[in-house]
Amino acid sequence: MGKNVLVLNGSPRKHGNTAALVEAFSKGAEQTGSTVVRFDVALMDIAPCRGCLGGGADVNSPCVQKDDMDAIYAAYRAADVVVLASPMYCWSFTAQEKAVLDRLFALMEASMCAAAAGGAEAAAAAAESGGKECVLIMPAEENTERNFAPIISYYVTLCERMGWRDRGRVLVGGVYEAGAIAGNPALDEAFQLGASLA
């Protein structure tokens, strides 16, 4: 049985190396019956988190800022698998991807509000915020273990805190220029990871 897959692509390049990896992954996932919803977050209107701690009142629109995150919140709640796809920028995600991750905090606030209210609503909110699988897809210029160490550390911690289970990673170095990923074995790796979700 297929899964609901949410892809958050943080690359500002429409046809870059990250997009090619995402497309390969998505084909693998769809071939085995999964449904893929993709957001190119760098092309969306998503403001950074204000740190106001004012979210959570409305589970359908948990953040006080009203922008394109509402579409992501809805897709996130329905997702079984969250795919974080981004080129490496300064040993981390792009700023556009990081803004989305920061804004997911409003879902935690919604869970806390529901927990305070108690009952079935609290259980449903907790189930929506955690219990998902996660995939990391990241191309980078440098191809060394040291280069990827900071993002792996961040990703592992993020999965722990969000209650996500790591389903796999495609980390590929030596692909700086747009299109450099062509013919790279990582494309098949991404396809196979997508196909393994079912």
Distance CA 43, CA 96 (A): 9
Instruction: State the average pLDDT over residues 173-178.
Output: 94
pLDDT at 114: 76
Exposure string of 129-154, with b = 16+ CB inside 10 Å and e = fewer, is beebbbbbbbbbeeeeeeebeebeeb
Asked, for residue 102, whether it belongs to a domain, the answer is no
Distance CA 119, CA 113 (A): 12
Specify the pTM.
0.92
Asked, for residue 186, whether it belongs to a domain, the answer is yes
Helix axes 105-117, 95-103, angle to 10 degrees: 0
Asked, for residue 145, whether it belongs to a domain, the answer is yes
Determine the distance from the C-alpha atom of residue 65 to the mean position of all C-alpha atoms in its chain, rounded to a whole number: 20
**Is pLDDT at 139 greater than 70 in this prediction?**
yes
Asked, for residue 62, whether it belongs to a domain, the answer is no
Residue, of 123 and 183, whose pLDDT is higher? 183
pLDDT at 93: 98
Q: What are phi and psi of 15, to 5 degrees?
A: -125, 40
Cβ contacts of 121 within 8 Å, gap of 6 or more: 114
Range of the structural domain that residue 179 is part of: 4-43+78-97+118-195
Instruction: State the average pLDDT over residues 58-70.
Output: 92
**Is pLDDT at 57 greater than 90 in this prediction?**
no
> What is the 8-class DSSP label of residue 92?
B
Calculate the average pLDDT of the chain.
Answer: 92
pLDDT interval class at 122 (50, 70, 90): very low
Number of domains observed in the structure of the chain? 1
State both tokens at 69.
Answer: 């995150």
Asked, for residue 19, whether it belongs to a domain, the answer is yes
- pLDDT tens digits for range 92-119: 999 999 999 999 999 888 877 777 776 5
* CATH value at residue 36: 3.40.50.360
First to last CA, the chain: 6
Asked, for residue 58, whether it belongs to a domain, the answer is no
